[in-house]
Amino acid sequence: MNSNVLAVKELHKEYREIVAVDGVSFDVGRREIVGLLGPNGAGKTTTINMILGVLKPTSGTVMIEGLDIAAHRRRALERTNFAAVYAPLPGNLTVYENLRIFGLIYGVKKINERIEVLLRQFDLMKFRDTKCGVLSSGEQTRASLAKAMLNNPNLLLLDEPTASLDPATASEIRGKIREFAAQTAGGILWTSHNMYEVEEVCDRVLFLSRGKILLEGNPKTLPGEHGKKTLEELFIAVAREPLKLESD
Amino acid sequence: MKFSRIFAIVLRQFYLMRGSMSRILPMFVWVAIDMVLWGFITRYLNSIVGGGFNFVPVMLGAVLLWDFFARVMQGVTMAFFEDVWSRNFLNIFAAPLSIGEYVSGLVLSSVATSSVGLIVMLVLAGAVFGLSFLSYGIALVPFLAVLFLFGIALGIFASAVVLRLGPAAEWFIWPIPPFLSPFVGVFYPLSTLPRWMRYIAHLLPPSYVFEGMRAIVQGKPFSAALLFWSGTLAAVYILLACRFFIRIYHHAVNTGLIARYSAESVS
């Protein structure tokens, strides 16, 4: 078994003259939650899309459990799943129907049992036969997370999973994700703009700006290492003065 | 290819249909209206022309076969549009589903929906207007097969066009069957067409079906080799449509089209 669930090497993406991601390399270990942070347009979602195989890198490699996504897309994606605020489950199907369909696509064994476990785990029992489109933001996020955990993924990608949630619901969701990381051999790559959340949840953070990783480290100690009091202050510095930090 | 993944796409279509009258009704309402309308037109033509010529198998049969072809094509595109309308591309294409499995799921969904339309048309045309498909003999099977294959090919091609040009391109797709109908001679022999239209007609598999249907009804000889050729042509179009879809998919993965696919044109 590989020690890393995800290994990204020299990932680069160019759209004509625009460089969206510029030679990014990092990895995610087992039971590790890695935060991918950065201002809007830094290249976080582009990186996640390349890991998911829906965007082809200009150069570089993405290995999931030792499988190159470019050569073994299907096998790599069987071990992966994701939830993103911009990719909700189809609103015209019920929670159960969506979970069943994606369960079949991800090749989940004992699918009905797995769906029942996830419905209970994400407190979705009463919405089992409710169409996803009429659920509240928090309920839709829980349904998306249930889908993301259907196949017990070794690599879970979460793109702003708690965006637009109230603090109580966000805290509850964070708890479920941490529980998942603790109970499985999987790793999580998490993007968020909520620095409090990142500090609470992530074991390690990567600061991305203008397509490059500028900083990497423990979210609790990293601000101090760069003369900042909080992670939020460090984030603002990265967003405003990336070149200064790069030269540091 | 894993059957469970193909089944997931078909199951999704079943789930959508069972809870939605607006999806169920179009499967048979339009074809039923066409059968009733053309049934009465053929009755009227029979009454004014006389001379023993029966318009029912020529015209009503032609409408039925043409509607079947259009339903097959729309069966594929409608199943694809469900992912467009629900903005589901990222969930679908970031999953371990191959393009072959996805397209097979769309095709099987079309088999189910177009079969419903075909059964409704056969029952209405037979019970109300006395159209007997026995008059076409065993040739009915290859006729339906050729139209089915070509409908699938066009459905896959049309889906690729929408994937490339965005949801607004949906409006290029609906007029495809009516645009093709003058070329394939649904109601008249190909000899009626000017030469340049006949060249195009010979590239379209349904042309051979309608020529064959008219020949059989009029008791004239019909070339089985031509029917075989039309089936081969339709199969080639399926392969070309699949290649086109895969090419568009790879373009979408290169440019980030799938990740950015939204309600407006992404071209």
CATH code for the domain in which residue A192 is found: 3.40.50.300
Q: Which of B12, B14, B18, B262 to mutate to test the interface with A (most CBs of A within 10 A)?
A: B12
**Tens digit of pLDDT for each residue in A150-189?**
999 999 999 988 887 788 888 888 888 888 888 888 899 9
Boundaries of domain holding A126: 88-152
**Backbone angles phi and psi of A213, in degrees to 5:** -85, 120
Do both A199 and A223 map to the same domain?
yes
Please tell me the distance in Å from B95's CA to the nearest CA on chain A.
6
Boundaries of domain holding B181: 3-260
- Using the structure block, give the residue that is written with the tokens 């949801």: B167
pLDDT band at B1; cut points 50, 70, 90: confident
Do both A60 and A131 map to the same domain?
no
In this prediction, what percent of chain A has a pLDDT beyond 90? 67
Q: Searching chain B, which residue's CA lies closest to the CA of residue A93?
A: B16
Give the whole-angstrom CA distance, residue A39 versus residue B215: 70
Q: What is the mean pLDDT of chain A?
A: 91
Distance between alpha carbon A93 and the CA centroid of its chain, in Å?
24
Q: Is residue B139 part of a domain?
A: yes
Answer with the one of A98, A127, A152 that is the final residue of a domain: A152
Do both A35 and A54 map to the same domain?
yes
Report residue A106 as tokens. Answer: 């991800």
Give the whole-angstrom CA distance, residue A183 versus residue A31: 8
Residue-level pLDDT at B265: 40
Residue-level pLDDT at B132: 80
| Averaged pLDDT for residues B50-66 | 85
3-class DSSP assignment, residue A56: coil
Other CB atoms within a 10 A radius of the CB of residue A233 amount to: 14
Q: Which of A78, A104, A107 has its CB closest to that of B11? A: A104
Q: Is A111 on the interface with B (CB under 8 A)?
A: no
Do both A30 and A110 map to the same domain?
no
Do both A136 and A166 map to the same domain?
no
- How many domains would you assign to chain A? 2
Q: Is residue B267 part of a domain?
A: no
Q: Which helix (H) or strand (E) holds B206?
A: helix B205-217
The DSSP symbol for A30 reads T
Q: Is residue B265 part of a domain?
A: no
Alpha helical stretches, state H, chain A: 44-51, 73-78, 95-105, 111-121, 137-148, 167-183, 195-201, 222-225, 231-240, 242-247
Do both A244 and A197 map to the same domain?
yes
Entry pTM: 0.91
Residues of B in contact with A86 (CB under 8 A): 90
Q: With CA atoms as reference, report the closest residue to A206 among A8, A3, A4.
A: A8
Residues 64-93 of A with CB under 8 A from B: 73-75, 77-78, 82, 84, 86-93
Do both A138 and A161 map to the same domain?
no
B14 pLDDT above the threshold of 80: yes
Do both A96 and A127 map to the same domain?
yes
Do both A170 and A69 map to the same domain?
yes
- Using the structure block, give the residue that is written with the tokens 């009626």: B192
Residues of B in contact with A75 (CB under 8 A): 96
Q: Which helix (H) or strand (E) holds B111?
A: helix B99-129
**Tens digit of pLDDT for each residue in A183-235?**
888 899 999 888 888 998 999 999 998 899 999 999 999 999 988 888 989 88
Give the whole-angstrom CA distance, residue A103 versus residue B5: 9
Q: Is residue A5 part of a domain?
A: no
**Tens digit of pLDDT for each residue in A45-55?**
999 999 999 99
